[in-house]
Structure 1
Amino acid sequence: MDDVHRAGVPGVYAEVRDAGRTWRGASGVADLGTGRPVSPGLRHRVGSITKTFTAAAVMQQVEQGRIRLDAPIGDHLPHLVPGERGRKITVRMLLNHTSGIPDYIPYAFPSLQGLPSGPDASGRSLDDNRYRRFSPVELIELGLAAPPAAEPGAPVGVYSNTNTLLLGELLARVTGTTAEDYITRNVIERAGLRHTGFPTGPRIKGPHSRMYEGLYGLIDPPRDYSVYDMSWTGVGAALVSTMEDLNRFYDRLLAGGIVNESSLAEMQRTVPVRALDGSMIEYGLGLHKVVIPGCGTFWGHDGTVWGAGTLSLTRADGERRLSVAVNLQRWNKPDASGRPQRHPIDDALLTFRREALCGDAPPAPAPTG
Structure 2
Amino acid sequence: MHNPLDSAVLDEALENVHRAGVPGLFAEVRDGDRTWHGAAGVADLTTGRPVTVDMKHRVGSVTKTFTAAAILQQAESGTISLDAPIGTYLPHLVPGLRGQTITVRMLINHTSGLAEYLPYAYTSLAAFPDLARTTPESFDNHRHTRFDRTDLIEFGVTAAAFGPPGGTPGLYSNTNYLLLAALLEHVTGTTAEDCITENVIRRAELHDTAFPTGPHIDGPHSHLYESWFGKIDPPRDYSDFDMSYVGPSASLISTVTDLNRFYAALLSGRIVTPASLAAMQQTTQVISQELTAIPYGLGLHPTHSPGRETFWGHGGTVWGGGTLAMTRADGQRQLAVALNLQRWNTLDPTGRPEPHPIDKALATFYDLALYA
| TM-score exceeds 0.5 | yes
Q: In 2, Cα distance between the equivalents of 1:4 and 1:173?
A: 44
Is it true that 1:62 corresponds to 2:91 in the alignment? no
Is it true that 1:335 corresponds to 2:348 in the alignment? yes
Shift of residue 293, structure 1, vs aligned partner: 3.2
- Structure 1 unaligned regions, length at least 5: 114-119, 360-369
| 1:310-337 Cα deviation digits (max 9, x unpaired) | 0000011111000001000000001233
Shift of residue 294, structure 1, vs aligned partner: 3.7
Which of 286, 302, 305 is 2:299 aligned to? 286
Q: In 2, Cα distance between the equivalents of 1:66 and 1:78?
A: 17
Question: 1:155-174 alignment to 2 at 5 Å?
Answer: 155-174=168-187
Q: In 2, Cα distance between the equivalents of 1:293 and 1:204?
A: 40
Which of 135, 138, 144 is 1:131 aligned to? 144
Aligned equivalent of 1:109? 128
Shift of residue 281, structure 1, vs aligned partner: 1.0
Q: In 1, Cα distance between the equivalents of 2:96 and 2:206?
A: 41
Aligned equivalent of 1:350? 363
The two structures, once aligned, show a CA RMSD in angstroms of: 0.7
Q: In 2, Cα distance between the equivalents of 1:128 and 1:292?
A: 42
| 1:48-89 Cα deviation digits (max 9, x unpaired) | 000000000000000000110000000000010011010010
- The letter for the 2-side match of 1:340 is P
Shift of residue 340, structure 1, vs aligned partner: 1.1
Q: In 1, Cα distance between the equivalents of 2:210 and 2:218?
A: 10
Aligned equivalent of 2:246? 233
Aligned equivalent of 2:310? 297
Is the 2:267–2:330 contact (alpha carbons within 8 Å) kept by the matching residues of 1? Answer: no
Is the 2:320–2:341 contact (alpha carbons within 8 Å) kept by the matching residues of 1? Answer: yes
% same residue: 61
Question: 1:1-369 alignment to 2 at 5 Å?
Answer: 1-106=14-119, 107-113=126-132, 120-359=133-372
Secondary structure (helix, strand or coil) at the match of 1:165 reads: helix
Q: In 2, Cα distance between the equivalents of 1:191 and 1:25?
A: 23
Shift of residue 262, structure 1, vs aligned partner: 0.9
- Structure 2 unaligned regions, length at least 5: 1-13, 120-125
Q: In 1, Cα distance between the equivalents of 2:168 and 2:348?
A: 32
Q: In 1, Cα distance between the equivalents of 2:233 and 2:159?
A: 31
Moved over 2 A (4+): 292-295
- The letter for the 2-side match of 1:305 is V
Q: In 1, Cα distance between the equivalents of 2:142 and 2:332?
A: 41
Is the 2:153–2:175 contact (alpha carbons within 8 Å) kept by the matching residues of 1? Answer: yes
Matched length: 353
Q: In 2, Cα distance between the equivalents of 1:311 and 1:289?
A: 12
Secondary structure (helix, strand or coil) at the match of 1:138 reads: helix
Is the 2:223–2:340 contact (alpha carbons within 8 Å) kept by the matching residues of 1? Answer: yes
Q: In 2, Cα distance between the equivalents of 1:337 and 1:253?
A: 41
- TM-score normalised to structure 1 length: 0.95
Q: In 2, Cα distance between the equivalents of 1:335 and 1:262?
A: 45
Shift of residue 295, structure 1, vs aligned partner: 2.9
Shift of residue 15, structure 1, vs aligned partner: 0.1
- The letter for the 2-side match of 1:44 is H
Aligned equivalent of 1:367? none
Shift of residue 256, structure 1, vs aligned partner: 0.3
Secondary structure (helix, strand or coil) at the match of 1:347 reads: helix
The range that moved more, 137-146 or 167-176, is 137-146
Secondary structure (helix, strand or coil) at the match of 2:316 reads: strand
The range that moved more, 5-14 or 294-303, is 294-303
Is the 2:169–2:293 contact (alpha carbons within 8 Å) kept by the matching residues of 1? Answer: no
- TM-score normalised to structure 2 length: 0.94
Q: In 2, Cα distance between the equivalents of 1:77 and 1:288?
A: 27
